[in-house]
Amino acid sequence: MRRLAGAASMLVLLIFAAPAPAATVKVAGDQINGLGNAILAAESGDTILIPNGNYLLTQGDVLKEKDLTLRGAGTDLTTITPSGGGDALEDPGVTVDTTSLTVGPAQKDSEEEAAADAAESDESDGIEAQAQIIALVVTFAIFMFVLDLVRRRRLAERYAILWMTAALALLVLSIWTGGLDALADLMGIQEPANAIFIIAFAVGFLLLLNFSAVSSRLGEETKVLAQEVARLDQELRHERSLRGGEPNGFSGRAADPEQAQDKPPVRAE
């Protein structure tokens, strides 16, 4: 899409640029600085002729500003290697005569840009098959593990559903890579793998939050149970002591008779 637009604008530019009188600047000097110097020396609209060799393309900003045309001595003879992202070559004002030169792969000056480029080149073919197979195997294993936990009654069904949904989502995304790309696009994330990480993080976060809530409730319930056990224990000891047997050394209180009266029977609820 972008390339088409670039080509179209190039065409438009060629049509409009053609009538304008433009000088031609020849690149002189070494392959590292020559092209950059020529760009600096050129006037707006000039054409830069690049001789045989692999020239490093620097001064991208100036190139963009001056709307220069780059022409080589032949696709198999002249190569230009953009330093940095090489985005100047895609500037609508800049014309690259690709019939006379080859644009080599850009020199990476930072990992970030390299990664960005990699993402761009990945967009077409998604996750590699190898990673896809691993993802398939792992998610399938998770799925089976969850099922097995349920089978052995180690995991309540409602949590099983939760985890199996998560595993299923992973499975779907690892098979249907287009879905992942679409998802990444939707979220404005260049690298589909990052989209997976973010989604996984969000899901994990919610699960943990849910478990915190569950364990809070369990703690509350456990507290009530412990209090009840303690109460029943006390009442049992009390009853025993009233019957005269004092197996655990409980010595009754002075106020006991009165209390025995209003002590409610233990209800079986």
Q: Which residues bind other proteins (CB under 8 A)?
A: 220, 223-224, 226-231, 233-234, 238, 248-255, 259, 262-264, 267, 269
CB 185 within 8 A of CB 178: no
Tokens found for residue 198: 């973010």
Q: Nearer to other proteins by C-beta: 165 or 259?
A: 259
Least spacing, CB of residue 228 vs other proteins, in Å: 5
Least spacing, CB of residue 253 vs other proteins, in Å: 5
Least spacing, CB of residue 154 vs other proteins, in Å: 24
Exposure letters 202-230 (e unless 16+ CB within 10 A, then b): eeeeeeeeeeeeeeeeeeeeeeeeeeeee
Q: Nearer to other proteins by C-beta: 151 or 263?
A: 263
Q: Nearer to other proteins by C-beta: 1 or 254?
A: 254
Q: Nearer to other proteins by C-beta: 185 or 221?
A: 221
Element (H, E) at 103: strand 102-103
Residue type, 74: G
Sheet of 53-57: strand order equals 53-57, 78-82, 102-103
Least spacing, CB of residue 225 vs other proteins, in Å: 9
Alpha-carbon distance of 158 to 198, in angstroms, equals: 24
Least spacing, CB of residue 162 vs other proteins, in Å: 23
Q: Nearer to other proteins by C-beta: 121 or 251?
A: 251
User: For the chain, what's the residue count?
Assistant: 269
